[in-house]
Structure 1
Amino acid sequence: MATLNLIQAINLAIDEQLGRNDKVVVYGEDVGVEGGVFRATQGLQKKYGKDRVFDAPIAESSIVGTAIGMAMNGMRPIVEIQFDGFVFPAYNQIVTQLARTRNKSRGNYTNPVVIRIPVGGGIKGLEHHSESLETYLGHIPGIKVVMPSTPYDAKGLLAAALESKDPVIFLEPKRIYRSGKQEVPEEHYTIEIGKAKVLKEGTDITVVGWGAQLREIQAAVKEVEAEGISVEVIDLRTINPIDTETIVESVKKTGRFLVVHEAMRTYGPGAELIAQVNEKAFLHLEAPATRLTGFDIVIPLARGEHHHMINKDQIVAEIKKIVAY
């Protein structure tokens, strides 16, 4: 076992795949010599050479486009988009090519590309550096979208992504890259993509979140449980496909549902989760299924960013309101 933070776990997962498969290549802006702006690939170029870990031009469309060609010809590219808001130039390649290869070729070709993207706010970033991309990316058929909340999950989910036959977008909540450490097996393991995790069982309300938001949820749960409210906490882990079964079974037990996410409210993932709960567990509900989300605005810059982020006190208030309904 190694005691690692999230960014170290990601580095270990990539290192492991480079060592296991000589078809794996890693590239993106500054990922080679510098090891990436967050140092997720630090030391890998020195270990594996410039042919397998290298810097790319500042051209996100080309980064993803070349990865598509590589994957169709037997390679296993891992590409990094330096910041979340920089993915939009590559969106055309993702939607019109990457996601549709299996369908367009009638299953003759797949596109095993992994796109890593640091996402979310909380670091007082510049414009285009703090975006929540779940809605943009989770809506695309043919793409799996993953977001871990712990170092253990980050390594296991990234390993599964790197072994998937289909494209995976791996969203990394940058706010918690170095905010805590956890024991992580150094040997190879995978975590199933598309399977949520029940972090804590409870009887009064189900609360679902993912990524950095789990830290705020867990802090809120400690407070409300001290007052006698029993909370079941679920880490969604995968934005697409959604593990509806785990969520619905939990709501049937607790009778109440709250989803918490940093992404904007309108058309956000919370709306889809509430729709699933209403369709499949409506008669078990004792209060309206509820969402607590970011605002429908452009993510504020550094001095106003905290107004957009969902905090522990907001979650505590919402849980109490739903339980008292």
Structure 2
Amino acid sequence: MSTTSQTQNLTLVQAVRDGLYTEMSADEDVIVMGEDVGKNGGVFRATEGLWEEFGDDRVIDTPLAESGIVGTAVGMAAYGLKPVPEMQFSGFMYPAFDQIVSHVARLRNRSRGRFTCPMVIRAPYGGGIRAPEHHSESKEAFYAHEAGLKVVIPSTPHDTKGLLISAIRDPDPVIFLEPKLIYRAFRGDVPEAEYTVPIGEAVTRREGSDVSVFTYGAMSRPTMEAAEELAEEGVDCEVIDLRTISPLDRDAIISSFKKTGRAVVVNEAPKTGSIAAEITAIVQEEALLYQEAPVKRVSGFDVPYPLYALEDYYLPNAARIKEGIMETVEF
């Protein structure tokens, strides 16, 4: 990863725009496309200014047709371009699901390597912004289940730019889910120059010895808050930010669990069939003899995502995460 002494203080959504700008400036094959991404700059303004900089040929306003957006991007990618289609919300991706699983994920295998599919499907995802239905789901497990797709979920501005650049340069398709709850929640230092963050590598946000807490995306912030509060109470949490959920960094998961013997997994997706369930299985398969307590999952609930009145109850917060950690530590 290259570094520079020149940094900028950006929000997460600004880091998305900076990553797109960096790669579009460096590689004329990078194309941004989607609903209102051009003159309007996107529903969250993630592409603001790109149309003015790169023009109609490289920043393309599309019809409101997700299947058409992704299907067109497949053709572009097969013949040498690097499209970055934006879905306005991850909940709008379902009309494109057939394109994603039948063509995007399988193009390399189906053509026996004759074609690759270097594209990044970006989408704001997750809850917490008081949006109506189909705007707040956390369905990342859909895409992690599909061979041929990488699935990336950043939690900091620095990682967002570096992971997005890595995703655009990847020869295979990447689903890049951006936790919109923290789009503008805080700022962080982001190098002005290009740099990459490796896809498939977790990062330790906090070293600890009592319990390993695995998380990603918007849940990293309340998890860190819970860990810092528990440190004052004598509980030493190790917090692992996965950053990529496909491929999962199995080595980081196993190494941390062997160190602490206890694990809590925090995600906002429904509990059943979640990434938390997969991490639990990895621990059971690879490090059972190190286990001191059952693995605890702190997650959303197995219900439709609720509207405003119950949204704060649905999403894991620091208090609920603390409770889950203490249940594991005191077992």
Into which bin does the TM-score normalised by the smaller protein fall? Answer: over 0.9
Across the aligned residues of Structure 1 and Structure 2, the Cα RMSD in angstroms comes to: 0.6
Q: Contact 1:257/1:290 (CA < 8 Å) preserved in 2?
A: yes
Partner residue in 2 for 1:240: 246
Q: Where in structure 1 do 4 or more consecutive aligned residues deviate above 6 Å?
A: none
Matched residues, number: 325
What secondary structure sits across from 2:193 in the alignment? coil
What secondary structure sits across from 1:234 in the alignment? strand
1:31 aligns with 2:37: yes
Aligned counterparts of 1:296 and 1:285: Cα–Cα separation in 2: 27
Per the TM alignment, residue 318 of structure 1 is displaced from its structure 2 partner at its CA by: 1.1
Per the TM alignment, residue 139 of structure 1 is displaced from its structure 2 partner at its CA by: 0.5
Q: Contact 1:220/1:312 (CA < 8 Å) preserved in 2?
A: yes
What secondary structure sits across from 2:124 in the alignment? strand
Per the TM alignment, residue 200 of structure 1 is displaced from its structure 2 partner at its CA by: 1.1
Q: Contact 2:117/2:171 (CA < 8 Å) preserved in 1?
A: yes
Partner residue in 1 for 2:324: 318
Q: Contact 1:278/1:289 (CA < 8 Å) preserved in 2?
A: no
Partner residue in 2 for 1:107: 113
Correspondence list, 1:287-298, <5 A: 287-298=293-304
Aligned counterparts of 2:208 and 2:304: Cα–Cα separation in 1: 35
1:302 aligns with 2:308: yes
1:170 aligns with 2:176: yes
What secondary structure sits across from 1:229 in the alignment? coil
Which amino acid in 1 is paired with 2:254?
V
TM-score, L = length of structure 2: 0.97
Q: 1:124 aligns with which of 105, 130, 154?
A: 130
Aligned counterparts of 1:271 and 1:19: Cα–Cα separation in 2: 40
Percent pairwise identity: 50
Aligned counterparts of 2:315 and 2:75: Cα–Cα separation in 1: 38
Per the TM alignment, residue 126 of structure 1 is displaced from its structure 2 partner at its CA by: 0.7
Per the TM alignment, residue 105 of structure 1 is displaced from its structure 2 partner at its CA by: 0.8
Partner residue in 2 for 1:182: 188
Which amino acid in 2 is paired with 1:199?
R
Correspondence list, 1:116-265, <5 A: 116-265=122-271
TM-score, L = length of structure 1: 0.99
Consecutive unaligned residues of structure 1, counting only runs of 5 or more, are none
Correspondence list, 1:48-59, <5 A: 48-59=54-65
Q: Contact 1:206/1:234 (CA < 8 Å) preserved in 2?
A: yes
Aligned counterparts of 1:271 and 1:231: Cα–Cα separation in 2: 20
Q: Contact 2:297/2:324 (CA < 8 Å) preserved in 1?
A: no
Summarize deviations over 1:227-276 as a string: whole Å, max 9, x none.
11111000000010000100100000001000000000111111110000
